């Protein structure tokens, strides 16, 4: 009986910890997501207000959102989300975005998107499988600059703030009508079958973070200091 229990315990541990066989695309998402965050947070002239970073419950990064070649006006992209967990950030959850038109900046064929989920209510909606931005969850184009003092009332009360970054420029972007959904296949490859996204962001089951997620999580946790930066 003891032997059976031992093998059962080992099998459970393997099922919990052994899933990190991410695809090349998922590894790329994590790497590029970290690069986007590092670029934005280290550049005082194209930055999301630090006050909003500190208030955000979660951060979603969707690098290299592309114009659809087959569907006129369509954009699509895949990214990752991490949420605050005590004094650190949670393991990433993989996400997908589809929208009729993201409104890429002039001359840009692709852009990076960053979404700040500003409260737990917004997070709960994202974890329901999919959310229609602007309908299921309140959305606003995020303010840009070192200070959030110029934010409008809509921006201050939105559940999600959205930004686009392309050609070296950062701007708030309206993603209303877009659908943000969980990438369940990618999450299964990262954490194993039967693991729910809420368990990932809440730290349930003692899940280990994929090694490829390290740069992304480090970029989120990095302290930012911009002495002399203009507001």
Q: What's the pLDDT tens digit per position in 83-99?
A: 998 778 999 999 999 87
Q: Are strands 139-141 and 160-166 parallel, antiparallel or unpaired?
A: parallel
Q: What angle do CA 48, 179, 121 make, to 5 degrees?
A: 65
Q: What is the pLDDT of residues 29-74, one digit of tens each?
A: 999 999 999 888 776 665 788 888 888 999 999 998 865 443 444 5
φ and ψ of 213, to 5 deg: -80, -10
The residues that bridge with 179 in the sheet, in sequence order, are 98, 132
User: Is the pLDDT confidence value at 224 over 80?
Assistant: no
Q: What integer pLDDT is reported at residue 138 of this predicted model?
A: 92
Q: What integer pLDDT is reported at residue 41 of this predicted model?
A: 76
Q: Cβ-count burial of 44 within 10 angstroms (0-12 exposed, 13-18 middle, 19+ buried)?
A: middle
- In this structure, the number of other CB atoms found within 10 A of the CB of residue 186 comes to 21
Q: What integer pLDDT is reported at residue 12 of this predicted model?
A: 43
The structure's pTM equals 0.81
Q: What is the pLDDT of residues 127-168, one digit of tens each?
A: 988 899 999 999 998 888 766 565 677 777 899 999 988 777
Q: What integer pLDDT is reported at residue 225 of this predicted model?
A: 53
Report the distance separating Cα 166 and Cα 64, nearest Å.
Answer: 9
Phi-psi region of 156 (alpha: psi -120 to 50; beta: other; left: phi over 0): alpha
Helices (H), the chain: 2-17, 24-41, 50-55, 120-126, 153-157, 184-191, 197-202, 214-221
Average pLDDT over residues 194-214: 87
């Amino acid at each position: 009986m003891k032997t059976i229990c031992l093998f059962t315990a080992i099998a459970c541990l393997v099922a919990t910890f052994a899933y990190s066989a991410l695809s090349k695309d998922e590894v790329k998402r994590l790497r590029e997501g970290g690069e986007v965050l590092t670029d934005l947070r280290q550049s005082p002239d194209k930055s999301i207000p630090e006050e909003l970073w500190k208030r955000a419950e979660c951060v979603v990064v969707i690098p290299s959102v592309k114009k659809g070649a087959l569907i006129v006006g369509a954009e699509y992209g895949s990214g990752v989300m991490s949420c605050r967990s005590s004094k650190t950030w949670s393991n990433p959850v993989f996400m997908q975005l589809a929208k009729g038109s993201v409104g890429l900046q002039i001359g840009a064929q692709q852009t990076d998107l960053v979404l700040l989920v500003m409260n737990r209510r917004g997070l709960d909606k994202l974890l329901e499988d999919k959310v229609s931005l602007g309908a299921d969850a309140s959305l606003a184009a995020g303010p840009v600059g070192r200070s959030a003092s110029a934010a409008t009332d809509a921006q201050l009360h939105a559940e999600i703030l959205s930004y686009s970054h392309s050609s070296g420029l950062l701007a708030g972007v309206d993603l209303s009508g877009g659908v943000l959904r969980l990438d369940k296949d990618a999450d299964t490859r990262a954490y194993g079958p039967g693991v729910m996204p809420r368990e990932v962001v809440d730290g349930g089951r003692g899940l280990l973070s994929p090694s490829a997620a390290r740069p992304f999580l480090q970029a989120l946790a990095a302290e930012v200091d911009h002495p002399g930066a203009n507001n």
